[in-house]
Homo-oligomer: A and B are copies of this chain.
Amino acid sequence: MTTQTRPAPPWQVDRWFNTSDAITLESLRGKVVVLEAFQMLCPGCVSHGLPQAARVHATFPDDQVAVIGLHTVFEHHDAMTPVSLQAFLREYRIGFPVGVDRPGTHGPIPQTMQAYAMRGTPTLTLIDAQGRIRHQHFGQVSDLVLGAQIAALVHEAQAGPRADGEQSRTVAGESCGPEGCALPA
């Protein structure tokens, strides 16, 4: 956990699913944003991260909370192409918008994932209504904690601006485990 609050970097996305238009962070200003970074072949993403994002999507009003998926492939790139992702989203009935993170130019880690300093998948990033990163969870976070963090940001958005924040990080696993897939150290 760090106490730093910083502007959320823009999303480098080449292709979107489940939306007719590209989505920018700016277009979501005024809403709390739940950004779920995942890989379709990451077991922890399939069993925990994505179902949780879907629950958030079903629980909170669309005009207050936006749930956005980000496909951040950092391994097995040939196995997780947009064609495979499209079938995956359909079979798993993922209904919220999902962007494909742009491949990195100097290594396996895609650009948005790197800009957000994510450590693996799944990573859930909470962005406030002013576009600032407020919480970041790698691995699992409980629904109680997540519900409370979202509500606090929604409440804050309705009450007015805030000066500083805090950034939490869940302890990382190692490589791909039941919790998720970690970037190489």
Q: A residues bordering B, Cβ < 8 Å?
A: 41-43, 46-47, 55-56, 59-60, 75-76, 78-80, 83-84, 86-88, 90-92, 142-152, 154-156, 159, 176, 181
Residues of B within 8 A of A154 (CB): 148
Query: Which of A46, A143, A150, A156 has the most C-beta atoms of chain B within 10 angstroms of its own C-beta?
Result: A143
Contact (Cβ within 8 A) A87 B41: yes
CA distance A46 to B105 in the complex (A): 33
The answer to whether B155 touches A43, judged by C-beta atoms less than 8 angstroms apart, is no
CB proximity of A47 to chain B, nearest CB, Å: 8
Q: Is the CB of A59 within 8 A of B152?
A: no
A44 to B, closest residue via Cβ: B91
B78–A83 CB distance below 8 A: yes
Cα distance, A68 to B146, chains bound together (Å):
22
Q: Tell me whether A155 and B151 are in contact (CB under 8 A).
A: yes
- Chain B: which residue is nearest A148 at the CB level? B151
The CA-CA distance from A80 to B76 in the complex, in Å, is: 13
Complex Cα gap A88–B145 (Å)? 28
A176→B83 CA distance, assembly (Å): 18
Which of A80, A87, A92, A159 has the most chain B CB within a 10 Å cutoff?
A87
Q: CA A87 – CA B147 in complex, angstroms?
A: 33
Q: Nearest chain B CB to A117's CB is how many angstroms away?
A: 23
Nearest CB of B to A36, in Å: 14
Query: How far apart sit A41 and B80, CA to CA, in the bound complex (Å)?
Result: 12
Complex Cα–Cα for A87 and B143 (A): 30
Residue of B nearest to A175 (CB): B91
- Known: A60-B148, A76-B90; 20 extra A-B contacts, CB below 8 A, are A41-B87, A41-B88, A42-B91, A43-B91, A47-B47, A55-B142, A55-B144, A59-B145, A79-B87, A79-B88, A80-B87, A91-B176, A143-B143, A143-B144, A145-B147, A147-B147, A148-B151, A148-B154, A149-B151, A151-B152
